[in-house]
Amino acid sequence: MSKPLILHMLTTAKNLSPFDVNMAVDAGWVSAIPYTNVEPDEVQGLVQDAIFSRSPKGLKYTGIFIGGRDTKQAMDMLKAATEAMFPPFQVSVFADPSGAFTTAAGMVAIVEDELKTKFNTDLSGKNVLALGGTGPVGQAAAVLAAQAGANVRIIGRQLDKAQRIADMCNEEFGAGKINITAGADEDKAEYIKTADVVFATGAAGIELLSAELVASAPQLKVAADVNAVPPSGVAGLDAFDNGKAIAGSQSGAVGVGALAIGNVKYQVQSKLLKTMIEKDHPLYLHFEHAFDAAREYIQASK
């Protein structure tokens, strides 16, 4: 008789995301066990408690999920988890803080596909603005776009914070191979003049790109918004839009709404959670693996 599938779910927050719990159970994990208010230095002990309580064969039915809200902290915890294990005591680990990695992967993959199908191009060399980009989704999306060859600028209300986030993304996630820059929200009217792509990743219910700015963007091709709460983060863009022309755009830009992005995010998170169960070897999953899965899903859906 095989052992039950147990996913140990770690978060630095006081609550574990119900969304993530539902996703885990629906993906096939029989038990999704929450560990809340986890300090990063507690990861090693928790992981080793999990791996030493089952035989190497039993560990096939064990996994670890890392949530929280901080992208760097989640990646550090993922590293700590992998370093706490050694053959044959190893299990798969999946980091997705606030769902940011899978959401960003879905958004960037859809935008990439829209560029290809509507404009016969890709992200390489494109100017990308990550509006409200200092948050988890904006950070991950900025890194993925930069890794795909785009010139990315993270825009925030405070320039010094945006610069700190851009530097962190370059150093911690980009391994020194990307060069994300920063900008202040008050200057976005200037930045939009040369923008090809806009990611609206700010707080729910806040318009980040007005109709006037959309109309003043001479080379805008795709705008994507992760906010499903009215008003839209991008004027003229509906949450259901999936490649629809944005009203008022002089450049023929198309929009991608939050529900279109959310569908891909859902599919990606589900696939990665299932893959942890199906594979016979340990996997250490984060935003890059989510992006690969998002690209695969979009291509398979055509």
In the structure, what pLDDT confidence band is assigned to residue 1 with cuts at 50, 70 and 90?
low
The predicted model gives 230-243 an average pLDDT of 95
Distance, CA of 200 to CA of 234 (rounded, Å) = 7
pLDDT higher than threshold 90 for residue 3:
no
Q: CATH topology of 6-99+264-301 equal to that of 104-261? A: yes
Q: Which fold has domain 104-261?
A: Rossmann fold (3.40.50)
β-bridge mates for residue 152, sequence order: 128
Above pLDDT 90, what percent of the chain?
95
Q: Which of 73, 72, 64 is nearest to 10 (CA)?
A: 64
Greatest alpha-carbon pair distance for the chain in Å reads: 65
Residue ranges per domain, the chain?
6-99+264-301, 104-261
In the structure, what pLDDT confidence band is assigned to residue 168 with cuts at 50, 70 and 90?
very high
What does the DSSP assignment read for 133-161? TTSHHHHHHHHHHHHTT-EEEEEESSHHH
Whole-Å CA distances, 20 to 37, 151, 253, 270: 16, 32, 33, 10
**In whole angstroms, what separates CA 99 from the centre of its chain?**
6
Q: Calculate the dihedral angle through the C-alpha atoms of 9, 10, 15, 18, rounding to the nearest 10 degrees.
A: -30
Strand 197-200, strand 222-225: pairing:
parallel
pLDDT of residue 255: 98
Distance, CA of 161 to CA of 154 (rounded, Å) = 10
Q: Which fold has domain 6-99+264-301?
A: Rossmann fold (3.40.50)
The predicted model gives 189-194 an average pLDDT of 98
